[in-house]
């Protein structure tokens, strides 16, 4: 029988349950959210209130507020009969086996025979929970462990029970990947599964190292943050986010359920943490943890950090440890790790103890928690935000070097590692052509890392690069489709990237069928190369600037008017020039996590690569006979004037960056390139390129007055500065097509020329240059 999920019910509208409901709605599923009755007058109160909170949460659990209202709400007393229609029931109530079992007993009579029933427990044994199920349904039960916040954390641990139907698990693994956009990791039914077992153990280990060392909490977060490929929240800030009480609970649970674990010291909650928990200093939910914001004498909120050793709050400032200065110079994380463990003194000792300790710990857990090492790496990367997993880090430092270090430090080395080295294998991972292979502890040999058939990693396809310069590469994806991938710093768009896009179009027009613009950097593109623009403006190289803007405009226009279809594949941040590239593609296939915005006013400019023109066009395209037009243009104007950024691809569609009915997005970002390739090929067979013409209705003076009044009014009321006003007025002038006496049909080029002239004139403004300089120095906009 074909398994299918159309309707999902979430039992329990707690923080996780409600957000899971949003995630399912994001994936286009029909969702029902149920919880207990706590008020007779309003039996659905818990579910309703939880969703209301979701509407206000930041970052938002939902990709569109409209989706939240599609979620059905109900309660465990009146609505269980609705479960008959449900394909997947996810239980997400309190972590208490008795209460869970009581609920199962209650809902069982209402489940369909073909239901998939899963629990979102983060640690309770799946098999112990499965026991309550009648044998006819036990094969429909498993664990599905999502990570909070579920929209943003990619990990989904799937834990089969002894009797769970294999095809059901296979289906959920696939559904989790392709529909929900998760990295599904098949886990064994061991305490806390993979990510929390390792992640929490590693945190407790860092706690212990801090306790016996001399670094401050604040320094520890520098040492264990991005410098070793961990999130900015590093260790202690992450603990504040998760909650020290929760961490202590998981740790205690591990200690209790793994008495024979040779690393059980890693589950020991240090006394200082116990003390903090007992005093309610448990993290963000109590507004105090390792960090705390307090008012200074001027009433301004400042961040302090807590020092458990002296029980005092100390001043926090963004630390740059001078001892790490050399390490910061090493841009490559893998090389940097090697450098860090080689450092002398306290620093080197700390890194060796911390990293080697973690490595010894994870090695010891193979095959207890997983037969495949890639699962451990996947789980830590997608569940805890590590840039590379523990086995990948180990490889980066060097397997043999680490083992030698472990021996000197009297750390236990797992037997399988010893065997592995004996047989001459010195890395956990290696590559065979485009196939990634992992070392298997069970077979003492290399086996493939299994990936979904649509999984696509550009790094695996380097041999198919047919053109490249420093900032851009063109890949031949086969079947006549090329891909242009940026790889400049933060994927900014400068001369080399533009050259790459043009080369891609030239090549594709020559002997290929279609061009994708896709990359897998952290972000699609944060915009034009501001540093270059700044230097040219400072030196008053107007001709060069004029030329650079012209090239940019011509390039984006070519994306639209070339003879081949172009498909833009955005993800992450897509700002300024990045948004302009998106706006000019023939089609867009986006990651649902695309944050698109024309944010140029933040640096004192207006979009100059066709963005302002495009928003005039988007408004115009939407005018209809009898339309009053002005509100549509005003909305587009305000998006630029207020530098609004879409917080999802869906929102990008609502804001006009993506086109409804034409473009698409997916929750799974790893499959975007093959999907976009299919789209491009579908288009190529019958592609008719658009023809340029005078087809934008520029409203001229009819709309211009409104923008002038708005700018004046906003300045008077202190919402904007005098310079903001200047930019707002100039933006109005361009988006209206100038001071035309009556609405007039104009060409894209007419608006592009206005756009360029205005862009250049703003570069002649001192305050604009100050804004750009500030952005380059601090990464933050300046209000002047």
Partner 1 sequence: MNVYILNGFRSPVGKAPRGMFRSLRPDDLAAQVVRGLMEKYPSIPKEEIEDCIVGNATPEAEQGLNVGRMISMMGLDTVRVPGMTVNRYCSSGLETIAIAAAKIQAGMADCILAGGVETMSPIPFGGWRVVPNYEVSTSHPDWYWGMGNTAEAVAQKYQVSRQDQDQFAFESHKKALAAQASGRFDKDILPINIQEVYLDEQERRQEKNYMLNRDEGPRADTSLEALAKLRPVFAANGSVTAGNASQTSDGAAFVLVVSEEFLKRHGLEPDARFMSYHVSGLEPRYMGMGPMHAVPKALEKAGLSQGDLSLIELNEAFASQSLAVIRELELNPELVNVNGGAIALGHPLGCTGCKLTVQILNELEKRNQKYGMVTMCVGTGQGAAGIFEKL
Q: Is 568 helix (H, G, I), strand (E, B) or coil?
A: strand
Q: Is 265 exposed, middle or buried (0-12, 13-18, 19+ CB in 10 A)?
A: middle
Q: How far apart are CA 38 and CA 701, in angstroms?
A: 59
Q: How far is the CB of 33 from partner 1 (least distance, A)?
A: 17
Q: Does 734 interact with partner 1 (rule: CB under 8 A)?
A: no
Q: How far is the CB of 748 from partner 1 (least distance, A)?
A: 24
Q: In the set 39, 540, 713, 761, which binds partner 1 (CB under 8 A)?
A: 713
Question: In whole angstroms, what separates CA 63 from the centre of its chain?
Answer: 13
Q: How far is the CB of 42 from partner 1 (least distance, A)?
A: 14
Q: Does 704 interact with partner 1 (rule: CB under 8 A)?
A: yes
Q: Does 638 interact with partner 1 (rule: CB under 8 A)?
A: no
Residue with tokens 């037969």: 371
**C-beta separation of 488 from 472 below 8 A:** yes
**C-beta separation of 510 from 504 below 8 A:** no
Stretch that binds partner 1, among 485-493, 523-531, 698-706, 776-784 (CB under 8 A): 698-706
Q: Which is nearer to partner 1, 474 or 699 (CB)?
A: 699
Bridge pairing between strands 566-569 and 514-518: parallel
Q: Does 718 interact with partner 1 (rule: CB under 8 A)?
A: yes
**C-beta separation of 610 from 752 below 8 A:** yes
Q: Which is nearer to partner 1, 97 or 705 (CB)?
A: 705
Q: How far apart are CA 422 and CA 400, in angstroms?
A: 11
Q: Is 40 exposed, middle or buried (0-12, 13-18, 19+ CB in 10 A)?
A: exposed
Stretch that binds partner 1, among 149-157, 429-437, 561-569, 708-716 (CB under 8 A): 708-716
Q: Is 305 helix (H, G, I), strand (E, B) or coil?
A: strand
Q: In the set 328, 542, 547, 716, which binds partner 1 (CB under 8 A)?
A: 716
638: nearest Cα among 655, 660, 650, 621: 655
SS (H, E, C) 488-502: CHHHCECHHHHHHHH
Q: Does 310 interact with partner 1 (rule: CB under 8 A)?
A: no
Q: In the set 630, 643, 681, 760, which binds partner 1 (CB under 8 A)?
A: 630
Stretch that binds partner 1, among 126-134, 193-201, 625-633, 672-680 (CB under 8 A): 625-633
Q: Which tokens is 618 given?
A: 């988007």
Query: Edge-to-edge strand order for the sheet containing 445-448?
Result: 429-432, 435-440, 445-448
Helical H runs in 398-528?
399-408, 415-422, 495-511
Q: How far is the CB of 744 from partner 1 (least distance, A)?
A: 14
Q: How far is the CB of 55 from partner 1 (least distance, A)?
A: 19
Q: Does 705 interact with partner 1 (rule: CB under 8 A)?
A: yes
Is the previous residue joined to 59 through a cis bond, with omega within 30 degrees of 0? yes
Q: In the set 346, 739, 745, 766, which binds partner 1 (CB under 8 A)?
A: 739
Q: In the set 302, 418, 538, 709, which binds partner 1 (CB under 8 A)?
A: 709
Q: How far is the CB of 399 from partner 1 (least distance, A)?
A: 59
Q: How far is the CB of 631 from partner 1 (least distance, A)?
A: 8
Q: How far apart are CA 756 and CA 752, in angstroms?
A: 6
**C-beta separation of 756 from 727 below 8 A:** no
Q: In the set 702, 721, 744, 747, which binds partner 1 (CB under 8 A)?
A: 702
Q: In the set 706, 744, 753, 765, which binds partner 1 (CB under 8 A)?
A: 706
Q: Which is nearer to partner 1, 537 or 746 (CB)?
A: 746
Q: Does 678 interact with partner 1 (rule: CB under 8 A)?
A: no
Q: Which is nearer to partner 1, 216 or 721 (CB)?
A: 721
> In the complex, which residues of this chain contact partner 1 (CB under 8 A)?
628-631, 701-706, 708-709, 711-713, 716-719, 739
């Amino acid at each position: 029988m074909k398994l299918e999920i159309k309707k999902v019910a979430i039992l329990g509208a707690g923080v996780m349950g409600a957000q899971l409901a949003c995630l399912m709605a994001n994936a286009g599923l029909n969702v029902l959210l149920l919880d207990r009755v706590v008020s007779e007058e309003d039996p659905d109160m818990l579910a309703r209130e939880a969703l209301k909170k979701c509407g206000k949460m930041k970052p938002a659990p939902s990709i569109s507020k409209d989706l939240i209202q599609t979620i059905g709400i109900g309660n465990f007393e009146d609505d269980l009969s609705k479960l008959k229609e449900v394909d997947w029931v996810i239980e997400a109530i309190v972590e208490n086996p008795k209460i869970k079992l009581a609920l199962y007993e209650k809902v069982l009579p209402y489940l369909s025979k073909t239901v998939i029933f899963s629990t979102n427990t983060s640690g309770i044994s799946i098999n112990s929970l499965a026991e309550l199920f009648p044998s006819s349904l036990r094969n429909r039960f498993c664990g599905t462990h999502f990570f909070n916040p579920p929209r943003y954390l990619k990990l989904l641990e799937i834990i089969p029970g002894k009797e769970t139907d294999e095809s059901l698990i296979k289906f959920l693994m696939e559904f989790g990947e392709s529909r929900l956009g998760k990295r599904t990791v098949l886990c064994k039914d061991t305490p806390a599964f993979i990510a929390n077992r390792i992640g929490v153990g590693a945190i407790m280990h860092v706690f212990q190292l801090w306790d016996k060392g001399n670094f401050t909490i604040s320094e520890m977060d520098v040492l264990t943050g991005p410098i070793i490929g961990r999130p900015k929240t590093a260790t202690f800030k992450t603990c504040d986010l998760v909650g020290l009480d929760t961490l202590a609970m998981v740790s205690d649970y591990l200690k209790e359920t793994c008495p024979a674990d040779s690393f059980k010291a890693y589950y020991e909650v240090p006394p200082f943490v116990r003390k903090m928990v007992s005093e309610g200093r448990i993290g963000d939910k109590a507004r105090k943890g390792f960090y705390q914001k307090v008012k200074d004498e001027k009433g301004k909120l400042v961040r302090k950090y807590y020092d458990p050793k002296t029980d005092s709050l100390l001043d926090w400032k963004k630390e740059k440890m001078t001892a790490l200065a050399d390490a910061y110079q090493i841009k490559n994380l893998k090389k940097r790790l090697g450098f860090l463990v080689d450092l002398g003194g306290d620093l080197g000792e700390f890194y060796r103890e911390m990293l080697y300790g973690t490595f010894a710990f994870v090695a010891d857990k193979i095959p207890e928690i997983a037969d495949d090492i890639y699962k451990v790496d996947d789980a830590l990367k997608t569940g805890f935000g590590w840039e590379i997993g523990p086995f990948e880090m180990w490889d980066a430092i060097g397997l043999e070097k680490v083992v030698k270090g472990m021996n000197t430090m009297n750390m236990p080395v797992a037997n399988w590692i010893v065997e592995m080295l004996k047989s001459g294998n010195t890395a956990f991972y290696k590559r065979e052509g485009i196939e990634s292979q992992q070392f298997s502890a069970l077979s003492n040999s290399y086996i493939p890392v299994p990936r979904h058939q649509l999984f696509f990693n550009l790094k695996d396809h380097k041999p198919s690069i047919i053109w490249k310069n420093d900032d851009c590469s063109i890949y031949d994806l086969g079947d006549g489709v090329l891909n242009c991938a940026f790889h400049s710093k933060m994927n900014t768009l400068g001369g080399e990237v533009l050259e790459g896009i043009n080369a891609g179009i030239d090549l594709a027009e020559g002997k290929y069928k279609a061009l994708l613009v896709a990359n897998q950097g952290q972000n699609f593109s944060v915009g034009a190369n501001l540093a270059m623009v700044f230097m040219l403006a400072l030196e008053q190289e107007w001709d060069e600037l004029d030329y650079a803007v012209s090239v940019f405009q011509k390039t984006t226009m070519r994306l639209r008017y070339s003879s081949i279809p172009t498909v833009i594949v955005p993800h992450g941040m897509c700002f300024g020039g990045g948004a302009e590239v998106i706006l000019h593609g023939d089609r867009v296939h986006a990651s649902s996590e695309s944050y698109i915005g024309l944010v140029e006013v933040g640096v004192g400019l207006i979009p100059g690569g066709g963005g302002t023109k495009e928003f005039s066009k988007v408004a115009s395209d939407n005018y209809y006979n009898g339309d009053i037009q002005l509100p549509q243009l005003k909305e587009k104007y305000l998006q630029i004037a207020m530098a609004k950024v879409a917080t999802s691809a869906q929102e990008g569609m609502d804001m006009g960056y993506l086109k409804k009915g034409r473009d698409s997005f997916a929750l799974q970002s790893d499959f975007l390139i093959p999907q976009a390739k299919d789209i491009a090929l579908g288009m190529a067979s019958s592609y008719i390129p658009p023809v340029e013409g005078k087809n934008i209705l520029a409203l001229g003076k009819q709309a211009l007055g409104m923008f002038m009044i708005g700018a004046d009014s906003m300045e008077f009321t202190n919402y904007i500065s005098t310079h903001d006003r200047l930019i707002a007025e100039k933006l109005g002038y361009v988006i209206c097509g100038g001071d035309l006496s009556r609405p007039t049909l104009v060409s894209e080029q007419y608006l592009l020329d206005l756009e360029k002239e205005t862009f250049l004139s703003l570069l002649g403004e001192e305050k604009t240059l100050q804004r750009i300089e500030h952005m380059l120095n601090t990464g933050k906009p300046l209000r002047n």
